[in-house]
């Protein structure tokens, strides 16, 4: 839903669903430093709502367990997220934990995605969510449009995927005025994350016309909208374009197209080194595109064209966009030393996406080449 204030749209959907125990998962900053969560919740009535704002970045299992217990104690019959990717992923994990009686971090092992002999995901062997979810996103990570949740296992320092067809929220409400509270660096960097969805979807060997149509249009919305917001943060029309672009960016994933090495290496940078979600794409996507160019130059031209620079290499266009937005470039600048590259390379091979990269990655040595380009 878009074109209607979030508080009005949410009230309409709550009444449609007949929900009476509404568990809000919100970002802490939005809840404690603005009036936006209160403004959205007030029309619902005080006895129908509770707010949980203690989910931290990259969604550690311990936060999921704490939130699940709070939702269970409240008797939640609807989960609403107000915030970015971490509240959204947490809410999905909470819904799975509620449905499957999970009450400890160790028991989340039961929800892991299992793989077949070819490392492809198997259908889940556990129950799907019974409590519906509504999302009001304030960043552009676009996880609200997928049926997967990223959760960090603190024991191993790895980010794992929980997947079930029922995980996708019932409703997503796009309101640029709510998203205007998001810090500039966070909104812009998650916009690059959404661009990463578009680009790796377009450039995948498994790309298809449906995913292409959405990703190319999303790339137009995002690349232009982000630049407009950087120039004028009050441009809420541009902010809505970016929210719509993030929606479209999920077209490839929704139509079965895998992501590539930018996403895979980004998982490791986030879970092990605490690099913010959006920054991982700023650091890795241009380098991955440069490394991949010998294998998919024709597909990369589509990216350059959609971003308005048909005569430039896609890696250069992406580099210029990230730099122009004032976002970080270079692993070493972001605090990742070259001494860590071997560990990052080995760990990334075990992620779902590195094996799906369009230019085949044969081992850690190939990942090291990409890291050197990103250094």
Strand partners, 174: 2
Q: Name the residue with tokens 């259908």.
A: 123
- b/e string for 231-269 if b means 16 or more Cβ within 10 A? eeeebeebbbbbbbbbbbbbbbbbbebbbbbbbbbbbbb
pLDDT at 357: 98
d(CA 146, CA 89): 10
pLDDT band at 359 (very low <50, low <70, confident <90, very high): very high
Q: Parallel, antiparallel, or unpaired: how do β-strands 148-153 and 158-163 relate?
A: antiparallel
Taking the CA atoms of residue 56, residue 149, residue 83 and residue 46 in that order, the dihedral angle to the nearest 10 degrees is: -90
Per-residue pLDDT, 99: 97
Spatial CA neighbour of 60 closest among 93, 27, 96: 93
Mean pLDDT of the chain: 95
Rounded Cα distance, 151 and 253, in Å: 18
Average pLDDT, integer, range 334-348: 95
**pLDDT per residue as tens digits for the range 198-227:** 999 999 999 999 999 999 999 999 999 999
In this prediction, residues 292-316 reach a mean pLDDT of: 97
Lowest mean pLDDT across 105-119, 248-262, 335-349 = 105-119
Burial of 144 (0-12, 13-18, 19+ CB in 10 A): buried
Q: Of 288, 292, 176, nearest to 239 (Cα)?
A: 176
Q: How confident is the model at residue 57 (pLDDT cuts 50, 70, 90)?
A: confident
Of the candidates 19, 253, 211, the residue with the CA atom closest to the CA atom of residue 130: 19
Q: Which residue spans within 170-303 are E strands per DSSP?
A: 171-172
- The model's pLDDT over 151-193, given as tens digits with 9 standing for 90+, comes to 999 988 888 889 999 999 999 999 999 999 999 999 999 999 9
pTM for the whole thing?
Answer: 0.91
pLDDT digits (tens, 9 = 90+) for 27-47: 999 999 999 999 999 999 988
Q: Is the pLDDT of residue 118 over 80?
A: no
Query: Is the predicted pLDDT of residue 119 greater than 80, yes or no?
Result: no
Q: Tokens 């990742």 label which residue?
A: 336
What is the reported pLDDT for 159? 82
pLDDT at res. 58: 85
Tokens 């050197």: give the residue.
372
Look at residue 115 and tell me whether its pLDDT is greater than 90: no
Instruction: Check pLDDT > 80 for residue 95.
Output: yes
pLDDT at 324 over 90: yes
**Is beta strand 148-153 parallel, antiparallel or unpaired with respect to 49-52?**
unpaired
Residue with more model confidence, 121 or 78: 78
Tell me the pairing of strands 78-83 and 22-26: parallel
Integer Cα distance of 206 and 349 in angstroms: 19
- Averaged over 132-140, what is the pLDDT? 97
Neighbouring C-beta atoms of residue 85, cutoff 10 Å: 28
pLDDT(327) > 80:
yes
Can you list the domains of the chain with their CATH numbers? 6-172 (3.40.50.1970), 184-373 (1.20.1090.10)
pLDDT at 284: 98
């Amino acid at each position: 839903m878009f074109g209607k204030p979030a508080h009005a749209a949410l009230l309409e959907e709550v009444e449609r669903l007949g929900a009476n125990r509404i568990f809000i998962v919100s970002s802490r900053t939005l809840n404690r430093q603005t009036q936006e969560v209160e403004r959205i919740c007030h029309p619902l009535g005080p006895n129908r709502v509770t707010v949980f704002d203690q989910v931290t970045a990259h969604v550690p299992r311990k936060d999921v367990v704490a939130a699940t217990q709070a939702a269970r104690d409240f008797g939640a019959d609807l989960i609403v997220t107000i915030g970015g990717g971490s509240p959204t992923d947490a809410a999905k994990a909470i819904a799975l934990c509620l449905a499957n009686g999970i009450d400890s971090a160790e028991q989340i092992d039961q929800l892991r995605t299992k793989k077949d002999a070819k490392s492809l995901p198997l259908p889940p062997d556990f129950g799907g969510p019974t409590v519906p979810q509504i999302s009001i996103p304030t960043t552009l990570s676009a996880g609200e449009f997928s049926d997967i949740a990223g959760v960090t296992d603190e024991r191993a320092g790895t980010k794992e995927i929980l997947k079930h067809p029922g995980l996708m929220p019932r409703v997503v409400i796009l309101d640029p005025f709510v998203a205007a509270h998001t810090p500039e660096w966070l909104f812009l960097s998650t916009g690059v994350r959404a661009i990463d969805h578009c680009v790796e979807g377009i450039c995948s060997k498994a790309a298809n016309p449906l995913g292409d149509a959405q990703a190319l249009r999303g790339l137009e919305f995002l690349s232009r909208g982000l630049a407009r917001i950087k120039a004028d943060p009050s441009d809420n029309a541009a902010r809505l374009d970016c929210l719509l672009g993030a929606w479209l960016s999920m077209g490839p994933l929704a139509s079965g197209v895998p992501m590539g090495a930018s996403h895979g290496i980004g998982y490791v940078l986030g879970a092990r080194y605490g690099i913010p979600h959006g920054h991982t794409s700023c650091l890795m996507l241009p380098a991955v595109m440069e490394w991949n160019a010998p294998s998919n130059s024709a597909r990369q031209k589509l990216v350059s064209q959609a971003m308005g620079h048909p005569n430039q290499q896609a890696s250069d266009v992406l580099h210029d966009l990230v730099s122009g937005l004032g976002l970080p470039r270079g692993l070493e600048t972001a605090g990742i030393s070259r001494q860590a590259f071997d560990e990052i390379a080995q760990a990334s091979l075990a992620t779902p996406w590195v094996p799906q990269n369009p230019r085949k990655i044969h081992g850690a040595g190939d990942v090291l080449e990409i890291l050197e380009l990103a250094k």
